[in-house]
Structure formats: C-alpha cells, structure tokens
Amino acid sequence: MPTLHWIGKEKVINHHLDVPYKILEHSYGFHNGTQNDKKTQSGNAIIHGDNLEALKALLPEYEGKIKCIYIDPPYNTGNENWVYNDNVNDPKITKWLGKIVGKESEDLSRHDKWLCMMYPRLKLLHKLLSNDGAIFISIDDNEQANLKLICDEIFGGGNFVANLIWEKNYSPRNDAKYFSASHDFIVVYAKFKNSWKRNLAPRTDKQNKFYKYDDNDGRGLWRPDNVLVKSFSEAGVFGIKNPNNGKEYFPPKGSCYRFNEEKSKQMLAENRFYFGKDGNGKPQLKRYLFEVNDGVVPQTILKYDEVSHNQEGKKELNKIIEGNVFDSPKPYQLVERILQIATNPNDTILDSFSGSGTTAHAVLNLNKQDGGNRKFICIEMEDYAETITAERVKRVIKGYGITEGTGGSFDFYTLGQPMFLDDGNMNEAVGVEKIRQYVYYTETQMPLTTTQYKDNAYFLDKYNDTSYYFYYEKDEITTVNHKFLATMKTKSEQYIIYADNCLLTKEFMTKHNIVFKKIPRDITRF
C-alpha cells in the first residue's frame, strides 16, 4: 500500500500520544429553552476548545463508542478572507506547528501544514470510533488525494467504503477560470468494514412518482417492472399466457424470467402481471410501492435536489442567525442523509470541526422526525463556538421564524486544566474525582461509573476480576499496609492498588496477587 510522506510527518505521526489530557469544564446546560448551571444529562455536548485536546479529553468516556463521525475540516483552498480560515494559517495552528514540528515548520507548504494538522486528529478520531462505526469526511479536490492516502494509513485501505460525490451547486459559475466546481467529496471509512452495516436511504417523491397505478384491490400503488433477469436459468424459460387474448409469451432467446413456471401461475392468479394499456401486450411485473417502502440502496452521488446545496445551507443559517459570517455552511439535509444511512436511533455522533453547528441541527431534526434519541458531540475551537454554534442549536431547539422547534437539550463545555503538571506530578486542582476517573480509564479503557460494590472510600471498581484502588489523600502520605488491606471488602483474583508507599513484602503481594503502583510515577499517560 502506498504511503504519503511530507515535511513534518515524523513529528506528528505519534503526536496524539503527547497531547495533554485536559478536564472538560461544564459551563451551562440548555434544556427546552432554559439555560442554567445544571447538567442536562442529555448526552449532547458542545465543546469550545482546540479539537485535538478536546478529542483527547473525550477518550475516557467515549473511546470505541462513537457510531458515526462527520467532519468538515478546512479544505485548504487558500481562502483566508473569512472567519473560518480555510488555509490552516490560523494563529493557533501556526503556533502549534511551530511548537510540534519546530523550525522545520517555517519551510512547510500549505499541504504539509494541512497534513500535519489532520494526521493526529484522525488518529484520535479512529480511537473514538466504535468497531461498527464509520467516519464521513467532507473535502474537495485540493486535499482529497492526500486525505485518501493518510486515511488508508490510519484506518486501513481495506476499510475504505466509498468516495461520495455531493452536488453542492445547482448552477454553473461563469466566472470560473477553468471549470465550474459542481461537487465536493465525502470520503467514507469504516472502523472495520465487515462490521459496519449501512441503512437504506429514504425514498424520495421523485422515486415514488412512477408508482401511479392502482387496482383498488387494497395493495396500493404499483408500477410496471421488468420480468426478465440477467443471470440465466433453464427454470426461467417457459411461456406465460395472456388471459385476455390467449397469446403465449416466451422470454427472448438467451434470457429467462426472474421466477419459475409454478410461481408465474401463482402470480397470474393473484393479478401480479400487467399486459399493457389495452391488455393485449407481453407480461410485465406489477411492482408495488409497499414492497419497496423501506428505502433504497444509497448511491455514491448525492444530488442537490435530494440533500440540498451550499446556497440553501447559507440561506437556512441566515434564517436562524441573521448576518452570520459563514460563506458556505453545509446544509443540514446533507448531514441528515448521512445520519439516516449510518446511524440508528440511540447512536452517538461526533463532529470535531463543527463550525456553525450543522451536525447538531441535523441530529435534532432527525430525532424529531423518527422519535430517535441520537446524541451529538460538537467541538469548535474558534470564538464563535458560543455566539454561532451554540446559539444556532438553542434556536433550533426552541424554534426560529416559522420553523417549529425540535425540542432537546445540550451541555456547553470548555477545556479546563491538564491532568498533569509540567513537572510530571498530578494537578491536584482538577479534583480527586477526575483523577480517579482518569486512573480507572488508563487501567481498563472503560469509564468509571458509580460502583455497585460496598467497599472502602478508595475503591474504584472491579473489572475482569481485578479490583482497583486509588489510595490518595491530598494533604498526607498514604501507605499500603495490612491495616489498609483489612478495609478492602471486595473479593477478586487480583488487586491493583495506587498509593504513595507500600510496606507489604514482595512475597506477600505475589501470594495474594497484589500489584502496588506508586502515585504519580506509575499513573499511565495516554
């Protein structure tokens, strides 16, 4: 498999491991039109902060749990004239590149910069994606080829699903220098292709309009369909007699019917054949609408008349927030179609380049349509995260103009302090509960929930027959000794105990399967 090389790759290929783990600080909750300090417990979140650090902060709770990721990263077109800087020359990115890549970053092309920016973010997105999940990435010609190569590297070439074409414009631009760009790409990868199951896409009015006949027999609308099949079978070669004129019709030489003779007789009895307007033609199959109402196999071309276009996306956003600064926001109908194909009613969706909040809008709208409980997590690093991203979601929930509100809730977060200080010690300012959650996750890759076990105050939980303890006090030295062991009530095959010191002998710990880990030296950085 070919791999892509660029200036700075060796500095970012494992940078996701060095990203500091920061605490998510809750700012406010918004529930059905009311904002207050309480958490909504809805599972919906908007996070303001660097998306690299925010993705790292999500790992303890969401690693391997995100069913669908949709991102619309900078296209790297060179457009630097509007708020969403599309040339990855944002001061925050420039500063980050200088820190991570070093002096070499001064020689980076804009393609090098874009790849350096995207690679560690895609690595973390891969970790967050569930085994049966998929990622959808919007992009255009500027970086599509590069994106495909780094996704092959991170997700595996065998997990590539499709390169979708979205018809973003409905009319040509006569001022185009070479060609008028009518489409964008949406690159699709599964975590594990064999485990990902797509849904059918909903049928459109355009597709349904061909079902215009009705026999008034209770079976509803139907259309004429072909009775022949491409794969030849001798069982499909026979004559079908037209009951109106007695004429017998055989399939053309080398062709066959899609059913056997016995089935054809049953279908004749059930009036499942159409013999033309005058009733004297060759047989055609009556294809009923109720037989296909579940949907259609999604196509790789997403047409503007089905999922909308850029102009409509901008128009819709202006209805919600007049005078917004986004030039080409994606229409929520496009993301809604992706969610229809890629999610079920209780799945979690992540967008780490959330921009104006289109993904959250699509989730809320789709939940209203089908009664689902999909959850969204949206990350935005720019200062408009609250004034545009969150504000849009609030208005979608409440309703705007003549558009009825979807209802719903979300919580707004910012990135707080790091778990570890520069000297390697724990940052006690984050609070002991956050530290406990972190330690348990690094041991088990599972979130720490309220334990059902009655044990001592330092007990974390039991997982795979191992009990975990975090014996920590902010203002005193903790020691694992026989007195502490006497407070432990949970029976397990193994015990992992974090503390400052340990007075137990190696022989005793081996005999009783006790593992001591020193605070903070043995706390894993991930």
Burial class (CB in 10 A: 0-12, 13-18, 19+), 504: middle
Burial class (CB in 10 A: 0-12, 13-18, 19+), 99: exposed
> Where do runs of H (alpha helix) occur along 192-327?
205-208, 261-269, 304-307, 310-320
Contact 200, 289 (CB under 8 A): no
Q: How far, in whole angstroms, is CA 118 from its chain's centroid?
A: 16
Q: Is residue 477 part of a domain?
A: yes
Q: How far apart are CA 166 and CA 77, in angstroms?
A: 18
> Is the confidence at residue 118, as pLDDT, over 70?
yes
Q: Is residue 1 part of a domain?
A: no
Q: What is the mean pLDDT of residues 94-121?
A: 84
Q: Are residues 75 and 122 in the same domain?
A: yes
Q: What is the pLDDT of residue 170?
A: 85
Q: Are residues 396 and 451 in the same domain?
A: no
Q: Are residues 93 and 171 in the same domain?
A: yes
Percentage of residues of the chain with pLDDT beyond 70: 96
Q: Is residue 332 part of a domain?
A: yes
Q: Is residue 496 part of a domain?
A: yes
Q: Confidence band (pLDDT; 50, 70, 90) for 89? A: low
Q: How far apart are CA 469 and CA 58, in angstroms?
A: 23
> Is the confidence at residue 176, as pLDDT, over 80?
yes
Contact 200, 292 (CB under 8 A): no
Q: Are residues 47 and 121 in the same domain?
A: yes
Q: What is the mean pLDDT of residues 23-33?
A: 95
Q: Are residues 101 and 194 in the same domain?
A: yes
Q: Is residue 526 part of a domain?
A: no
Q: Confidence band (pLDDT; 50, 70, 90) for 86? A: low
E strands, 278-344, in order: 284-288, 301-302
Q: Are residues 142 and 179 in the same domain?
A: yes
Q: What is the mean pLDDT of residues 418-442?
A: 92
Q: What is the pLDDT of residue 326?
A: 81
Q: What is the pLDDT of residue 81?
A: 43
- Among 65, 3, 40, smallest CA distance to 441 is for 65
DSSP-derived 3-state class of residue 107? helix
Q: Are residues 191 and 318 in the same domain?
A: yes
Q: How far apart are CA 176 and CA 178, in angstroms?
A: 6
Q: Are residues 284 and 403 in the same domain?
A: no
Q: Is residue 437 part of a domain?
A: yes
Return the ∠ at Cα 99 (arms to 416 and 154), rounded to 5°: 80
> Is the confidence at residue 42, as pLDDT, over 90?
yes
Name which of 248-252, 254-258, 421-425 the model is least confident about: 421-425
Q: Confidence band (pLDDT; 50, 70, 90) for 87? A: low
Q: How many domains does the chain have?
A: 3
Q: 257, 291, 325: which is the final residue of a domain?
A: 291
Residue type, 431: G
Q: What is the mean pLDDT of residues 161-189?
A: 92
Contact 413, 48 (CB under 8 A): yes
* Of 324 and 255, the one with more pLDDT: 255
Q: Are residues 459 and 325 in the same domain?
A: no
Q: 396, 418, 440: which is the final residue of a domain?
A: 418
Q: Which residues contact 152 (CB under 8 A, 6 or more apart)?
A: 1, 2, 160
| Structure tokens given for 398 | 């409440």
Q: What is the mean pLDDT of residues 467-495?
A: 96
Over residues 181-238, the pLDDT tens digits come to 999 999 999 999 999 999 999 988 888 889 999 999 999 999 999 999 989 999 999 9
Q: What is the β-pairing status of strands 284-288 and 273-274?
A: antiparallel
Alpha-carbon distance values, 217 to 65, 221, 271, 485 (Å): 48, 10, 10, 78
| Structure tokens given for 453 | 């076990």
Q: Confidence band (pLDDT; 50, 70, 90) for 79? A: low
List the end-to-end C-alpha distance of the chain, in Å, as a whole number. Answer: 29
| Structure tokens given for 41 | 């417990």
Q: Is residue 4 part of a domain?
A: no
Domain that holds residue 414: 9-202+296-418
Mean pLDDT of the chain: 92
Q: 418, 448, 463: which is the final residue of a domain?
A: 418
Over residues 338-363, the pLDDT tens digits come to 999 999 999 999 999 999 999 999 99
* Of 85 and 209, the one with more pLDDT: 209
Q: Are residues 504 and 448 in the same domain?
A: yes
Q: Is residue 423 part of a domain?
A: no
Q: How far apart are CA 522 and CA 471, in angstroms?
A: 13
* Of 222 and 453, the one with more pLDDT: 222
Contact 31, 306 (CB under 8 A): no
Q: How far apart are CA 516 and CA 480, in angstroms?
A: 8
Q: Are residues 257 and 328 in the same domain?
A: no
Q: How far, in whole angstroms, is CA 345 from its chain's centroid?
A: 13
* Of 410 and 450, the one with more pLDDT: 410
Q: What is the mean pLDDT of residues 388-393?
A: 97
**CATH number for the domain harbouring residue 187:** 3.40.50.150
Q: Are residues 310 and 348 in the same domain?
A: yes
